Amino acid sequence: MPAKRLSVIVTRRLPEVVETRMKELFDVELRDPDIRMSRDELADAMKRCDVLVPCVTDQIDAGLLGQAGERLKLIANYGAGVDHIDVATARSRGILVSNTPGVGAEDTADMVMGLILGVVRRIPEGMAEMQAGRWSGWSPMAHLGGRIGGRRLGILGMGRIGQAVARRARVFGMQIHYHNRRKVHPSVEQELEATYWESLDQMIARMDIISVNCPHTPSTFHLLNARRLKLLKPTAVVVNTSRGEVIDENALTRGLRAGEIAGAGLDVFEHGHEVNPRLREMNNVVLLPHMGSATVEGRIEMGEKVLINIKTFADGHRPPDQVVPGML
C-alpha cells in the first residue's frame, strides 16, 4: 500500500512548472487567485496541513503558531529571508522551518548595479522626460549625472549577495569596501580587492555609495539610523535591496529632502508596500516594487529548493535548508 502523501498548502501562486511538480508529489492546495492570505486564512491553513509554503508577505508570529494544528510539522518558506517567521517558537512547537538560500544572489546583485546606475546616471528622469514628450533635443549640459568608475562602494553585509555585488562593481572600476560581522576569507578579499572596516561609522563616512545587503535581524534593525545617516557625505548614494527595516526610512527621507544625501535606490521599504509618499516626490530617488530577485529562472530555482526540502522531509530526513534559530 503506498504511503500517504503529505498535505501541503501554498500561500501564493508559484511558477507553473513548480506547482505542477508539487501536484505530482504531494496532496497540494494551490492559491488561486494570487492574493495575500489574511491572518484568519493562514490560521486555518496551518490547522489543516502537514507542510505550509509561505513567502515574505506572510507574517507567521508566535500568536499564529499557537493556533497551528498538530499536523503542521514543516514551514517550507519560499524565499531566503525568514524574518517574517518566528523560527524559535516554531522550533519549540516541533515545527521545522526551511528556506531557499543562495538562489537570488546573482539576480539581486544585478538589480543593485541597476539601481546604482539609475540614481547616479539619472536614468528614470530621462525616461520620464521621453515618455512625457518633453525632450527638445540634445544639449551639452542636460541630464548630467556622474561616473561610477573610481567611486568607493561600501557594502553592508558581505554574504552571497554582497560578494556578487562586489564582483560586478569591480568590473565597473569601483573600489570595494565592506562591513560584516566578521572578515571574509583572505582569498575572497584578494579576489575582490576588498577593504574591511570593523567600524561601520568609519566606513560609511568615507563612501560614495552604500549598498545594503544584510538580513533583517534584531541587531540590524535601523542599522542605518538617523545618527549614521548624518555621517554620509552629501554626495553619497544609498541603495537597499535587502530589507527595508535595516534603514530608518523617515531619517533617510529627511536627509534626502535636506540635500544631506545625494540620492537613493530602494527596492524594499520599512513598512512593506506602504512607501513614504515623500520618497515618491523626489527625482533623486529610484523606487522599485521589491523586484530584486524577480527573474523567471530565479523563481523556478526557489521552487525547486522548496520541493527538495519537502521531499527530503517526507522521506524522513532533515531538510537540507533547515533554518536553526540564531543562525541568520
Q: Is the pLDDT of residue 241 over 60?
A: yes
Q: What is the model's pLDDT at position 153? A: 98
Task: Let me know: does 67 contact 45? Beta carbons within 8 Å.
Answer: no
Q: What is the model's pLDDT at position 199? A: 97
Environment class of 276 (CB within 10 Å of its CB; exposed 0-12, middle 13-18, buried 19+) = middle
Same domain for 13 and 34, yes or no, is yes
Same domain for 76 and 127, yes or no, is no
Q: Is the pLDDT of residue 9 over 90?
A: yes
Q: What is the model's pLDDT at position 182? A: 94
Task: Specify if 322 maps to a domain.
Answer: no
Task: Specify if 245 maps to a domain.
Answer: yes
Q: Is the pLDDT of residue 328 over 60?
A: no
Q: What is the model's pLDDT at position 246? A: 97
Same domain for 21 and 31, yes or no, is yes
Residue range of the domain that includes 11: 7-103+296-314
Same domain for 122 and 150, yes or no, is yes
Percent of the chain with pLDDT over 90: 93
Q: Give the distance from CA 57 to its chain's centroid.
A: 12
Task: Let me know: does 242 contact 213? Beta carbons within 8 Å.
Answer: yes
Task: Specify if 251 maps to a domain.
Answer: yes
Same domain for 127 and 37, yes or no, is no
72: which residues sit within 8 A by CB, 6+ positions away? 46, 47, 49, 50, 51, 52, 95
Task: Specify if 82 maps to a domain.
Answer: yes
Same domain for 68 and 150, yes or no, is no
* Overall average pLDDT of the 310-314 stretch: 97
From first CA to last CA, the distance across the chain in angstroms is: 41
Same domain for 116 and 98, yes or no, is no
Number of folded domains in the chain? 2
| Residue indicated by cell numbers 524522513 | 316
* Residues 143-196: tens digit of each pLDDT: 999 999 999 999 999 999 999 999 999 999 999 999 999 999 999 999 999 999
User: What amino acid is encoded at 195 in this protein?
Assistant: T
Instruction: Spell 205-242 as b/e; 16+ CB within 10 A means b.
Output: eebbbbbbbbbbeeebebbbeeebbebbeeebbbbbbb
* Overall average pLDDT of the 287-293 stretch: 96
Same domain for 30 and 164, yes or no, is no
Same domain for 163 and 309, yes or no, is no
Task: Specify if 321 maps to a domain.
Answer: no
Task: Specify if 247 maps to a domain.
Answer: yes
Same domain for 235 and 310, yes or no, is no
The full 3-state SS of 70-89, as one line of letters, equals CCCCEEECCCCCCCCECHHH
Q: Is the pLDDT of residue 261 over 70?
A: yes
Reference 98, options 143, 53, 134; nearest CA is 53
Residue 186 sits in a domain whose CATH number is 3.40.50.720
Same domain for 220 and 113, yes or no, is yes
Task: Specify if 326 maps to a domain.
Answer: no
Is the backbone peptide bond immediately before 319 cis, with ω within 30 degrees of 0?
no
Task: Let me know: does 57 contact 36? Beta carbons within 8 Å.
Answer: yes
129: which residues sit within 8 A by CB, 6+ positions away? 135
Instruction: Provide the 8-state DSSP code for 189.
Output: H
Task: Let me know: does 64 contact 41? Beta carbons within 8 Å.
Answer: no
Task: Specify if 273 maps to a domain.
Answer: yes
Same domain for 72 and 114, yes or no, is no
* Residues 146-157: tens digit of each pLDDT: 999 999 999 999
Q: Is the pLDDT of residue 51 over 90?
A: yes
